[in-house]
């Protein structure tokens, strides 16, 4: 910029383009003649400043500037041009009076082409003075000069509008109808107007930039699902929103303006509890300058429930005021999805819990009740007030014990019972039956869960108990009936037999052979009935007259049985061999009966052509050897076998031979009641074992009793 | 072997008339000349032994040297009567043979614990009964010295 170049001396013009104003004095001289113009100039300048500050359109401001210049320099056209951002061409022109042909040239073309005085000025960034175009015609393109001449222009001045960094933002130019040398006063006035113009342009540009930044920010804020805000917490505790984006309308149903003017408009959307604590929390965070991260529930005026998540960062001003810049996000959809998922989970859990017929309760690893179903409550009568989520296991256990003690009596008893219960509980699991105050029976099963909690299952076993009791009673009655019936049946039978004997011995000769035969048959029937009754008694006594299981020497028992059966063995010319037999847990009396029945059967069902040979043998089989065997009993067993060389039987009857009263032979062939093997089976089953038979007609039979070596259960 | 000069009176406590008849027959069959006296329940048995009630008149109740006792009887049953007899300072010396259809172990143990002399199941045949009577005779009449018959306990 050539600031050192002085404007040429003003010379009187020869002709003027402004024919109506053929004046030759310099503008300054004009001012001098019109002294009141100076205050008018200042007034006008302040008018332009007003236009600028009131953000009047740039065109208007610049037009007014140009008019002012023309006003001051009465015999001139003024033109204000604004360059584009790259200073390549003019984008704005304010030339209220400039003749159109000149305006056309000035406005068009690139700065770099230097087709006009303004272009030259903008390109150089320096003031251009052409006081006499006739002399200075070389300075301008000849086309432009020609155009100027045709319009009667004799002189041209052009001031670049330079921003502080020296970049031209526009040009203020003047066209004179007379030759016009620059005088310092005029120059100073014009420079001041050029500064005004530049200020207007810069102000306009920064306004535009601000506006576009605002727009970008607004667009950004609008794209957030929620609002952006700034709030201010004054040292005296006053809370105000200095800014809140338009989203407030959508989120809260309240306009940003309402919130900015009164923050209660925003607070009122929140629940009373939130409002109560909000202020305190905000003041505390403002004091500590901690991040604001708060979730809230709001109920909008139109009745919608929404969930928000606010995040804001504080910064403190020197005066102690704290500004919070933040966002409030609409988390309704996320929250609702969470709530839906939680409710589905809760419902699913509820449905599962309620779909089982048992009472279920779950305590966590701290013995605090997590959940229980309604059956659990039903099976815990009187405990509805105690059983609540979070209640301790011990508290519930105590309540159950206190409820179960008659008359809520002895506290020491309750303490002791509770102590025992807690011991069982700590041991990790147990199962017991409990009688409820309402008379029902509940099976309580408790076990430790994988996570160290406790699961409790209550099963109503009242009906089961009733059936059990009924069954037991009916069983007892049956046993009693069998036993009593057998006893009482024996009495008259004994008499029939005794008197029959008397008749036989005293009167046989008197009544004759035929009557004696009848009498014999009668007595034979009596004997048979006695046998039936005795066998039935023996059968029923397997359960009624059982003894505890103790180590029993099978060899000894077998030997004694053989000794008892000596007569039968001798009569049949038979042979009974006893192999090695062990000592295992059993009821010796019953084993004796078992062996007696089996050996006696083996002797009885002999082949007519061969004397009976019976072998009693035992084989211990360990559990390991029995892998894959599905038949009971489990564990180590004794296979006690009685084999014979008798008549045998068809295996198709194998399932029937152990049934009571089941016989395969006519009584005239082989006498019997059909109770013996049934008794054997009952004895073996009472021992938790199993009776098996293998046979082949004509080749003998092997009956095997599979008996557990160890009796786990004390009594069947 | 010794033979007592006068066979003792045998008191039979038996509620069953048939059994009483059969027992009588069996004694007859065995040619025993012991006097047989019958009572039909425990109450009568105790009255007889203590000479009370219908047995109060002198000569009504000859001193019993042996009691054959059935366990199942009305009013006071054999078990209860046995308990009373064996806890009575005077009566306890009279030998008691339980003759019953009951073969219940409980009854057997109970009887022996109270000090009965013998426990015999009623045989089912008459011959059996005769044998029992013969055993009683052989044992009680021939081999055992019965306590002196001091009816007044003096």
What are A358-376's pLDDT values in tens digits?
A: 899 999 988 999 888 888 8
Which of A442, A460, A478 is the last residue before a domain boundary?
A460
Answer yes or no: is A600 within a domain: yes
Residue with tokens 């008749």, as numbered in its chain = A503
| A499 touching B (Cβ < 8 Å) | yes
Report if residue A682 sits inside a domain: yes
A468 vs chain B: nearest CA distance in angstroms?
28
Could A501 and B16 be called an inter-chain contact, meaning their C-beta atoms sit closer than 8 Å?
no
Mean pLDDT (whole number) for A247-265: 88
CB-defined contacts A:B, below 8 A: 33
- A330 and A373 housed in the same domain: no
Which of A399, A429, A460 is the last residue before a domain boundary?
A: A460
Same domain? A182 vs A271: no
What is the structure's pLDDT at A31?
45
A495: which chain B residues are within 8 Å (Cβ-Cβ)? 18-19, 22
| Confidence bin at A600 (pLDDT 50/70/90) | very high
Nearest CA in chain A to B16: A491
pLDDT at A39: 67
Do A574 and A701 reside in the same domain of the chain? yes
Q: How far is A682 from chain B (nearest CA, A)?
A: 21
**Between chains, do B125 and A497 touch, taking CB under 8 Å as contact?**
yes
Supply the DSSP string of B76-124, one letter for each residue.
S-HHHHHHHHHTSTTGGGS-EEEEES---HHHHHHHHHTT-SEEEEPPS
Question: Would residue A344 count as lying in a domain?
Answer: no
Give a yes or no: residue A427 inside a domain: yes
Pick from B25, B122, B127: CB nearest A494: B122
Query: Cis peptide leading into A633, omega within 30 of 0?
Result: yes
Lowest mean pLDDT among A57-61, A98-102, A403-407, B123-127: A403-407
Q: How many domains does chain A have?
A: 4
Q: Note every long-range contact of A411-418, with CB atoms under 8 Å and residues 24 or more positions apart, other chains counting.
A: A418/A394
> Within the 633-652 window of chain A, which residues sit less than 8 Å (CB to CB) from chain B?
none
Same structural domain for residues A185 and A257? no
Q: Is A547 on the interface with B (CB under 8 A)?
A: no
Do both A56 and A191 map to the same domain? yes
How many angstroms separate the CA of residue A350 from the nearest CA in chain B? Answer: 60
Which ipTM did the prediction report? 0.72
| B126 closest CB neighbour out of A487, A498, A530 | A498
B125–A487 CB contact, under 8 Å? no
Answer yes or no: is A189 within a domain: yes
Whether A656 has its CB under 8 Å from any CB of chain B: the answer is: no
pTM score, whole prediction: 0.47
Indicate whether A431 belongs to any domain: yes
CATH of the domain at A300: 3.30.450.20
A521 lies in some domain: no
pLDDT tens per residue, range B20-56: 988 888 888 888 888 899 999 899 999 999 998 888 8
Helix (H) or strand (E) holding A580: none
Query: A674 and A650: one domain?
Result: yes
Number of other CB atoms surrounding residue A600 within 10 Å: 19
Domain with A198 in it: 27-209
Same domain? A289 vs A434: no
Residue A685 and residue A601 share a domain: yes
Q: What is the mean pLDDT of chain A?
A: 84
Taking alpha carbons only, the member of A238, A228, A229 closest to residue A321 is A238
Higher pLDDT among residues B3 and A43, named by residue: A43
Token reading at A591: 């084993």
Residues A189 and A247 placed together within one structural domain of the fold? no
**DSSP characters over A588-654:** HHHHHHHHHHHHHHHHHS--TTS--EEEEEEEEE-GGGGTT--SSPPSSEEEEEEEE-S----GGGT
Q: Is residue A58 part of a domain?
A: yes
- Judging contacts by C-beta atoms under 8 Å, the chain B residues touching residue A499 are 18, 22, 126
Nearest to B124 among A497, A505, A545 (CB): A497
Residues A641 and A597 in one domain: yes
Last residue of a domain, one of A418, A439, A460: A460
User: Is A484 touching B (CB cutoff 8 A)?
Assistant: no
Closest chain A residue to the Cα of B130, Cα to Cα:
A498
For residues A670 and A649, the answer to whether their CB atoms sit within 8 Å is no
Q: Which of A491, A493, A494, A541 to mutate to test the interface with B (most CBs of B within 10 A)?
A: A494
Going by pLDDT thresholds of 50, 70 and 90, the confidence category of residue B147 is: low
| Chain B interface mutation, best of A484, A488, A489, A498, highest count of B Cβ atoms under 10 Å | A498
Q: Are A590 and A444 within one domain?
A: no
**Is there a contact between B127 and A501 if contact means CB atoms under 8 Å apart?**
yes
Strand order in the sheet with A575-578: A575-578, A613-621, A637-644, A700-708, A690-696
C-alpha count within 13 angstroms, C-beta hemisphere, residue A677? 23
Q: What pLDDT sits at residue A631?
A: 63
Contact B39, B45 (CB under 8 A): yes
Query: What dotted CATH number matches B9-142?
Result: 3.40.50.2300
Query: A698 with A577, same domain?
Result: yes
Closest C-alpha to A10, from A220, A157, A194: A157
Mean pLDDT of B117-143: 79
Task: Report the CATH number that the domain containing residue A554 is assigned in CATH.
Answer: 3.30.565.10
Q: What is the pLDDT of residues B52-86, one digit of tens each?
A: 888 888 788 888 888 999 888 888 888 889 999 98
């Amino acid at each position: 910029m050539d600031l050192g170049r002085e404007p040429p001396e003003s010379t009187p013009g020869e002709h003027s383009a402004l024919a109506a104003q053929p004046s030759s004095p310099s503008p300054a001289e004009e001012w001098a003649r019109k002294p009141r113009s100076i205050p008018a100039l200042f007034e006008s300048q302040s008018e332009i400043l007003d236009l600028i500050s009131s953000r009047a359109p740039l065109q208007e401001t610049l037009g007014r500037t140009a008019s002012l210049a023309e006003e001051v320099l009465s015999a001139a056209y003024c033109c204000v041009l604004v360059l584009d951002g790259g200073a390549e061409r003019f984008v704005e022109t304010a030339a209220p009076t400039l003749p159109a042909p000149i305006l056309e040239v000035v406005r068009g073309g690139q700065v770099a082409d230097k087709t006009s005085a303004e272009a030259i000025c903008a390109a150089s960034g320096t003031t251009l003075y052409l006081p006499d175009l006739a002399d200075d015609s070389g300075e301008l393109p000849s086309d432009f000069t020609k155009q100027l001449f045709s319009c009667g222009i004799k002189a041209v001045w052009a001031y670049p509008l330079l921003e502080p960094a020296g970049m031209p933002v526009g040009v203020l130019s003047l066209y004179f109808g007379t030759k016009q040398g620059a005088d310092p006063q005029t120059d100073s006035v014009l420079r001041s107007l050029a500064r005004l113009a530049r200020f207007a342009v810069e102000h306009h540009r920064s306004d535009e930039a601000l506006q576009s930044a605002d727009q970008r920010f607004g667009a950004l804020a609008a794209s957030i699902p929620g609002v952006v805000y700034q709030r201010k917490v004054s040292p005296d505790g006053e809370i105000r929103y200095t800014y809140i984006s338009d989203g407030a309308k959508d989120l809260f149903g309240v306009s940003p303006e309402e919130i900015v003017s009164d923050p209660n408009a925003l607070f009122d959307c929140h629940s009373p509890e939130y409002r109560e604590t909000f202020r305190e929390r905000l003041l505390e965070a403002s004091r500590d300058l901690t991040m604001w991260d708060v979730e809230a529930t709001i109920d909008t005026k139109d009745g919608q429930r929404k969930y928000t998540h606010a995040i804001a960062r504080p910064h403190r001003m020197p005066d102690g005021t704290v500004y919070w810049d933040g966002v409030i996000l609409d988390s309704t959809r996320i929250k609702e999805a969470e709530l839906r998922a939680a409710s589905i989970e809760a419902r699913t859990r509820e449905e599962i819990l309620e779909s089982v017929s048992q009472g279920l309760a779950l305590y966590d690893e701290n013995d605090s009740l997590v959940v229980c179903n309604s059956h659990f409550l039903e099976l815990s009568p009187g405990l509805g007030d105690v059983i609540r989520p979070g209640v301790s296991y011990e508290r519930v256990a105590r309540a159950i014990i206190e409820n179960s003690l008659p008359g809520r009596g002895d506290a020491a008893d309750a303490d002791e019972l509770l102590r025992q219960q807690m011991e069982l509980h700590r041991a990790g699991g147990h199962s017991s039956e409990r009688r409820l105050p309402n008379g029902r029976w509940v099976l309580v099963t408790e076990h430790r869960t994988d996570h160290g909690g406790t699961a409790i299952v209550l099963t109503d076993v009242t009906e089961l108990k009733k059936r059990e009791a009924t069954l037991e009673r009916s069983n007892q009655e049956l046993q009693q009936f069998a036993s009593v019936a057998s006893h009482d049946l024996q009495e008259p039978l004994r008499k029939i037999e005794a008197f029959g004997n008397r008749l036989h011995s005293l009167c046989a000769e008197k009544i004759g052979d035929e009557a004696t035969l009848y009498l014999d048959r009668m007595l034979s029937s009596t004997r048979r009935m006695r046998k039936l009754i005795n066998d039935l008694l023996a059968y029923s006594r397997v359960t009624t007259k059982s003894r505890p299981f103790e180590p029993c020497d099978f060899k000894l028992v077998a030997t004694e049985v053989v000794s008892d059966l000596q007569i039968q063995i001798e009569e049949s010319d038979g042979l009974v061999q006893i192999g090695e037999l062990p000592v295992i847990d059993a009821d010796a009396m019953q084993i004796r009966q078992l062996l007696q029945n089996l050996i006696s059967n083996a002797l009885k069902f002999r082949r007519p052509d061969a004397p009976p040979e019976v072998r009693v043998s035992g084989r211990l089989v360990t559990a390991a050897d029995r892998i894959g065997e599905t038949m009971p009993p489990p564990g180590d067993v004794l296979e006690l076998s009685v084999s014979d060389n008798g008549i045998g039987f068809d295996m198709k009857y194998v399932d029937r031979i152990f049934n009571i009263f089941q016989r395969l032979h006519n009584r005239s062939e082989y006498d019997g009641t059909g109770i013996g093997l049934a008794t054997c089976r009952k004895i073996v089953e009472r021992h938790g074992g199993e009776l098996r038979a293998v046979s082949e007609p004509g080749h003998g039979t092997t009956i095997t009793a599979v008996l557990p070596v160890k009796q786990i259960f004390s009594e069947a | 072997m010794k033979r007592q000069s006068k066979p003792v009176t045998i008191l039979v406590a038996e509620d069953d008339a048939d059994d009483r008849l059969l027992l009588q027959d069996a004694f007859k069959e065995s040619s025993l000349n012991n006097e047989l006296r019958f009572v039909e329940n425990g109450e009568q048995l105790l009255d007889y032994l203590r000479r009370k009630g219908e047995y109060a008149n002198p000569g009504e109740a000859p001193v019993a040297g042996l009691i054959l006792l059935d366990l199942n009887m009305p009013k006071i049953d054999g078990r209860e009567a046995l308990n009373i007899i064996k806890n009575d300072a005077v009566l306890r010396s009279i030998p008691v043979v339980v003759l019953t259809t009951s073969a219940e172990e409980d009854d057997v143990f109970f009887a022996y614990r109270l000090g009965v002399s013998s426990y015999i199941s009623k045989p089912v045949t008459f011959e059996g009964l005769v044998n029992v009577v013969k055993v009683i005779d052989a044992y009680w009449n021939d081999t055992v010295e019965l306590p002196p018959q001091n009816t007044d306990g003096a």
